Amino acid sequence: MSFTEIKNERFGEKYYTMKHSSGLRIMVSPKEGFKSTYAVIGTHFGSINSEFIHNGKKVKVPDGTAHYLEHKLFESEEGDAFKLYAKTGASANAYTSFDVTCYLFLCTDKFEESLEILFDLIQSPYFTPETVAKEQGIIGQEIKMYQDNPDWRSMMNLLQAMYSEHPVNKDIAGSVESIAEITPEILYECYNSYYNLNNMVLCVAGDVDPDTVLKIADKKLKKNEPVQTESIIPKEPYEVREKYVEQKLPVAVPMFTLGFKEDAPEEFISTKEALCTNIILEAFAGAGSALYRKLMDEGLINSSFGTEYFEGRGYRAVLFDGETKDPERTAEIIKDAVRELHKTGISKEDFENAKMAAYGKIAYGFDSTYAIASEMISAEFTGRGAFESADIISELTLEDVNERLKSQLDPDNCALSVIKGIDGAAEE
């Protein structure tokens, strides 16, 4: 059992990968001389995986279960993992997204001890009626906090407007009512279905030797036999559910999120397609674009304006968001610009500038242990190759990008989410 070296000749970067005897995929990028080491372990279990078939049995769990399970894994019979990390000096955290749950730490010293804690954490589930009930109040407060967060509400309101069937339209943390239904038995069911090491990946970047990681894995990881778990993802119609949704919250300036929904099979797009989309968004709406200048000149946006490609199993959309004094006018300008873009395509000059900017971001990412580890784990979960972006982007052509544009930014299939101030608290 040994590592395979994967090297990017263009940047002289490399990582080592192997399938450990326990079932865990391990990826290590040694960065000699770096002061910090970043480690993240994740499983392909997120909020959308609320219905699945495990060992032939169909299971449906309450909304917010994946996030709840993330919280509970930090507790064991021996105590709280955060207290253990405090002794090593590592900064630890975790997050649950729509598609994945990840546990991570950043350290400058005592890497081996911190990695042992991480391995213990994901292998030591401890759920009792008392400990599960105790967490309901904590997560309930977190849910209420997000209900008052205008950025999050703008996003979730948009997803509920765009998606009628796909569970991406549900809050990641669930609701106060749904988490009240979570029991130890439900958490163990999800843990046994998705926290199998064959369904997980560890990514490490920093001044660490791959053999050191392997030594700790050999010491701490228990062999897992593969399990049969099939997530049930409903087929989503192409059309958005509704075109406009609005909510009032105490904001000083109105906010908007405009989403262009796409047809989305369960497979992820390729690295080439993802890079083409990045170039399209940079050329069309980046800080140097004609659209950005027009919106700025009219006083409709500020530095909060941004774009995102929102993608997962069974959902894809291009998003624009930010603060604006006139959300409807801003959305109409963007849609008009999209219609014109489909007529003209991306210009050669805009393509070259956007390609150079994207290439620079890739190069810059190799100077960050966080960016490297995040790139590796994302590649593993999406089926894309880690470190391959630099080679693929160098070969992209204007024709590739304009071909990709044909399946994106449909101005007749978009939705607008608006957060406006409570009367008298917003626009002046």
Q: Is residue 427 part of a domain?
A: no
Q: Is residue 426 part of a domain?
A: no
Query: What is the per-residue pLDDT for 78?
Result: 74
Going by C-beta distance under 8 Å and a sequence separation of 6 or more, which residues neighbour residue 265? 314
Q: Is residue 428 part of a domain?
A: no
Query: What is the per-residue pLDDT for 428?
Result: 41
Q: How many domains does the chain have?
A: 2
Looking at residue 262, which CATH number applies to its domain? 3.30.830.10
Q: Is residue 103 part of a domain?
A: yes
Query: What is the per-residue pLDDT for 10?
Result: 85
Query: What is the per-residue pLDDT for 427?
Result: 44
Task: Enumerate the β-bridge partners of residue 39.
Answer: 105, 204
Query: What is the per-residue pLDDT for 9?
Result: 84
In 3D space, the residue among 385, 374, 391 whose CA is nearest the CA of residue 9 turns out to be 391
Asked if 139 and 33 sit in the same domain, the reply is: yes
Asked if 81 and 220 sit in the same domain, the reply is: yes
Asked if 57 and 141 sit in the same domain, the reply is: yes
pLDDT tens digit at each of 428 positions of the chain: 689 999 888 888 999 999 999 999 999 999 999 999 999 999 999 999 999 999 899 999 999 999 999 999 998 777 789 999 999 999 999 999 999 999 999 999 999 999 999 999 999 999 999 989 988 888 999 999 889 999 999 999 999 999 999 999 999 999 999 999 999 999 999 999 999 999 999 999 999 999 999 999 999 999 999 998 999 999 999 999 999 999 999 999 999 999 999 999 888 999 999 999 999 999 999 999 999 999 999 999 999 999 999 999 999 999 999 999 999 999 999 999 999 999 999 999 999 999 999 999 999 999 999 999 999 999 999 999 889 998 899 899 999 999 999 999 999 999 999 999 987 544 44
Q: Is residue 239 part of a domain?
A: no
Query: What is the per-residue pLDDT for 422?
Result: 87
Asked if 22 and 105 sit in the same domain, the reply is: yes
Asked if 225 and 252 sit in the same domain, the reply is: no
Angle of helix 65-72 relative to helix 129-147, nearest 10 degrees, comes to 120
Q: CA 376 to CA 205: how far, in whole Å? A: 9
CA distances from 408 to 26, 309, 354, 404 (A): 35, 10, 17, 7
Q: Is residue 237 part of a domain?
A: no
Backbone angles phi, psi at 52, to 5 degrees: -155, 170
Q: Which residues are catalytic?
A: 70
Asked if 196 and 99 sit in the same domain, the reply is: yes
One-character DSSP codes across 361-422: HHHHHTT-HHHHHHHHHHHHHHTPPTT-HHHHHHH--HHHHHHHHTTS--TTSEEEEEEEES
Asked if 12 and 140 sit in the same domain, the reply is: yes
Asked if 182 and 309 sit in the same domain, the reply is: no
Asked if 339 and 202 sit in the same domain, the reply is: no
Asked if 224 and 270 sit in the same domain, the reply is: no
Asked if 121 and 8 sit in the same domain, the reply is: yes
Q: Is residue 344 part of a domain?
A: yes
Asked if 225 and 260 sit in the same domain, the reply is: no
Query: What is the per-residue pLDDT for 80?
Result: 87
Query: What is the per-residue pLDDT for 126?
Result: 93
Q: Tell which of 205, 231, 257 closes a domain.
A: 231
Distance of CA 152 to the CA centre of its chain: 14
Residue 393 Ramachandran class (φ > 0 left, ψ -120 to 50 alpha, else beta): alpha
Q: CA 247 to CA 322: how far, in whole Å? A: 15
- The amino acid that residue 141 corresponds to is Q
Parent domain of 385: 244-421
Secondary structure of 244-268 as H, E, C letters: EEEEEECCCCCEEEEEEECCCCCCC
